Amino acid sequence: MAIKEFFDIPARYRTWSMALMGVGILSVIVGFILYGTGEHHGMRFWASLLQNSTYFLLVTNAAMFFICATTLAFGGWQIVFRRVTEAISVAVIPLGIIALIVLFACIYLDPHVYHWLNPEKGDKILEGKSAFLNKGFYSTWTILTIGLWMVLGNKMRQLSRELDNNPLPDAEAGRKYIFKNTVWAAIFIVWFALTVMSVTPWFWLMSIDAHWFSTMYSWYTFASTFVAGMALITIFVVYLKNQGYLEYTNEEHIHDLGKFMFAFSIFWTYLWFAQYMLIWYANMPEETIYFNSRITSKSHSGAYTGLYWFMFCINFIAPILILMRRGSKRNYTTVTFMAIVIIFGHWLDFYQMVFASLFPDHVTLNLFDFGVAAGFVGLIMFSTAKALTKAPLIAKNHPFIKESIIHHT
């Protein structure tokens, strides 16, 4: 079978990604004029950028996590579309730089997103947390987080491309190659565990509610972005299939991606519920405050109630009912539709994580937020397509490639 090894960016794709990025830039400019200064010190503007940049950064970084986790598990099935996953993870570089700028602006320009920057006098809780919540620790950790993601991700991609022109001579070399991959993947996973699964979301998102805390928060964030990352991989794989690429990828692989979306939607709900129920049960004011602005209660207006339960429905009830059947996980249309729903749903989840704390009285969601999101989507499309053109679409010399081609679910 003659296969198309290299991806050509179709003209329409290029136009769309450019247009979306244009919309994004325009939105940022208009947003800065409307919300960048004035009554809230630009809080609305920076909060939207914070939500979008961290969300899309974590989603694209989830692609690299997926590569490393499957490498450590000696999973072979995903090798046929591994180049797509790698290409998505390249977007960590531009998105990381943008997120770094936004986060630093939130710290050093102080648009009142993080109120722990200027605690009121005699605020015992924030004084107690000051060893953790301070500018120095925040900035250092943010730079380390994003920097090491880029470096380690780059190393993983490099290891994969190394084989393209030098096939492995024998089985022994193959074993050594796999071992080397495992070592680097393990390093990435450890760093991932220290960042996305623990400290980083506490800094970036949870510290918006500086008085509140939840130890499940990072896991919750991780589950949210990982399932959206799987959805993103699925969309790109299906797109490339429709364009006539990825000849060896078939519905068996799509089925497994669908299973990931299904399973991690439920995992997300599990964490959502675990966090909610413990706080509901203990009923301590300093903890319940988080849900007061999100779910209706007597003392609050409940502006976010509708949005919150809508988000819950499309992130849990839709995936569990629609993706449950075997047939729907093997159907390209259903899987793509659900992938888009999931990405949007978790974007809304991030929206309520950021905005329900900053603007508890009314939902400010408008075209500006969607415009910024469109810009990030365009950027991911652009950088992924660019990365796809640079390497062959199939890692043909990888030791597990045969296992992946004959994969059967």
Partner 1 sequence: MAVKKFVVGCFDEEGPLFDAVKKVRKSGYKLHDVYTPFPIHGLDQAMGLRDTSIHTAGFLYALFGTTSMLSFMTWVFTVDWPFNVGGKPHFALPAWIPITFEFTVLCSCVGMVITFMYLCQLAPFVKKHHFHLRSTDDLFVMVIECTPKTNESEVSSFLTSIGAKEVNTQMAETGWWLGRYDREQKLFEGQSETVSA
* Binding site residues, partner 1, CB under 8 A: 273, 276-277, 280-281, 283, 324-326, 408
Query: Please, which residues have CB within 8 angstroms of residue 184's CB and are 6 or more apart in sequence?
Result: 68, 152, 155, 156, 159
CB 169, min distance to partner 1, A: 28
Angle between helices 43-72 and 135-161 (to 10 degrees): 40
Minimal distance, residue 75 CB to partner 1, in Å: 16
Task: Of 283, 142, 290, 122, give the one whose Cα is nearest residue 202.
Answer: 142
CB nearer to partner 1: give 268 or 368. 268
Minimal distance in Å, beta carbon 280 to partner 1? 5
Q: How far is the CB of 266 from partner 1 (least distance, A)?
A: 11
CB of 215 to partner 1, least distance (A): 18
Contact 84, 408 (CB under 8 A): no
Question: Cβ of residue 168: shortest distance to partner 1, in angstroms?
Answer: 26
Q: In the bound complex, what is the minimum distance in angstroms from residue 163's beta carbon to partner 1? A: 27
Q: What is the DSSP secondary-structure string of 365-393?
A: --HHHHHHHHHHHHHHHHHHHHHHHHS-S
Using the minimum distance from each CB to partner 1, give the nearer residue, 239 or 272. Answer: 272
Q: How far apart are CA 71 and CA 90, in angstroms?
A: 18
Q: C-beta of 193: minimal distance to partner 1 in Å?
A: 27
Question: Strand locations in 276-351, DSSP E?
Answer: none
Which ranges constitute the DSSP H helices of 162-170? none
**Closest to 196 measured CA to CA, from 345, 52, 58:** 58
* CB of 270 vs partner 1, minimal distance in Å: 9
Q: Which residues are CB-neighbours of 131 under 8 A, at least 6 positions away?
A: 137
Residue 302 C-beta: closest distance to partner 1, Å: 17
Using N-to-C axis directions, what is the helix angle for 43-72 and 171-194, rounded to 10°? 150
Residue number with CB closer to partner 1 (179 or 281): 281
Which residue, 45 or 272, has its beta carbon nearer to partner 1?
Answer: 272
Q: Residue 180 or residue 326: which is nearer to partner 1 going by CB?
A: 326
Between 83 and 407, CB nearer to partner 1: 407
If the CB atoms of residues 178 and 318 are measured against partner 1, the closer one turns out to be: 318
Confirm if 352 and 344 have CB atoms less than 8 A apart: no
- Which residue is it, tokens 């969607």? 370
Contacts by 327-332, CB closer than 8 A, 24 or more apart: 328/258, 329/254, 329/255, 329/258, 329/259, 329/262, 330/251, 330/254, 330/255, 330/258, 332/238, 332/241, 332/242, 332/251, 332/254
User: Residue 138: CA atoms inside 13 Å, Cβ hemisphere, count?
Assistant: 23
Q: Identify which of residues 34 and 324 has a Cβ nearer to partner 1 in the complex.
A: 324
Number of helices and strands in the chain (H, E): 17, 0
In angstroms, what is the minimal distance from the CB of 406 to partner 1?
9
Q: Hunting for tokens 């490393």 — which residue is that?
A: 68
116 versus 272: smaller Cβ distance to partner 1: 272
125, containing H or E segment: helix 124-128
Judged by CB, which is closer to partner 1: 325, or 402?
A: 325
Helices 43-72/92-108 angle, 10° precision: 140
Kindly tell me which of 19 and 324 has the beta carbon lying closer to partner 1: 324
